[in-house]
């Protein structure tokens, strides 16, 4: 199998940024309007959730560039890939409350979407774990895609 800490693709996206993309949205080589692909890092200790999140690419202009399975690995991946957004399961944040602050220091314009895990940890989290969006586990992938599009 693939090491979860490795990028999902060997084809690097040419734009490395935390939000937005080319200001004009125009491809220099083609002169046509291109939609910017939003790079994402996903993080969860649940391999089935990570597998499901890979399907975001078919629902919009998203590309999961890396998957973290713990807080330390997630921080390294955010630092290395500078994604537009981090989709992280609440349980992972619960076990390392500094994770979101550390990731934002590594990528200052990072958007964080907190995903409700198998238990309701969100009600017990401290104020330091504030995210830009919270998605319930009963939400559809299409709802998650719409949330990401609205944030980014």
Contact 152, 19 (CB under 8 A): yes
Contact 133, 147 (CB under 8 A): yes
Contact 113, 133 (CB under 8 A): yes
Whether this prediction's pTM lies above 0.85 is answered by no
Q: Are strands 38-43 and 133-135 parallel, antiparallel or unpaired?
A: unpaired
Give the pair of three-digit tokens for residue 102: 């550390």
Give the pair of three-digit tokens for residue 44: 């969860």
Question: What pLDDT tens digit does each residue of the chain (152 aa) get?
Answer: 445 454 444 433 322 233 333 332 323 333 333 468 999 999 999 999 999 999 998 888 999 999 999 999 999 999 999 999 999 998 888 888 899 999 999 999 999 999 987 666 555 555 556 688 888 888 899 999 999 999 88
SS3 assignment for 45-88:
CCHHHHHHHHHHHHCCCEEEEEEECCHHHHHHHHHHHCCCEEEE
Q: How far apart are CA 152 and CA 110, in angstroms?
A: 10
Contact 89, 118 (CB under 8 A): no
Question: So what's the pLDDT on residue 123?
Answer: 59
CA 96 to chain centre: 17
Q: Are strands 38-43 and 85-89 parallel, antiparallel or unpaired?
A: parallel
Question: So what's the pLDDT on residue 33?
Answer: 36
């Amino acid at each position: 199998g693939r090491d979860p800490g490795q990028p999902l693709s060997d084809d690097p996206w040419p734009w490395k940024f935390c939000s937005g993309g080319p200001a004009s949205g125009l491809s220099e080589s083609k002169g046509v309007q291109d939609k910017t692909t939003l790079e994402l890092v996903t993080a969860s200790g649940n391999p089935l959730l990570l597998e499901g999140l890979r399907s975001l690419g078919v629902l919009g202009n998203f590309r999961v560039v890396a998957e973290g399975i713990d807080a330390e690995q997630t921080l390294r991946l955010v630092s290395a890939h500078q994604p537009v957004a981090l989709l992280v399961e609440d349980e992972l944040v619960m076990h390392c409350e500094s994770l979101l602050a550390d990731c934002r220091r590594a990528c200052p314009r990072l958007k964080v979407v907190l995903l409700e895990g198998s238990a309701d940890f969100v009600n017990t989290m401290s104020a330091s774990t504030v995210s830009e969006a919270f998605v319930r586990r009963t939400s559809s992938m299409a709802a998650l895609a719409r949330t990401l599009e609205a944030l980014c």
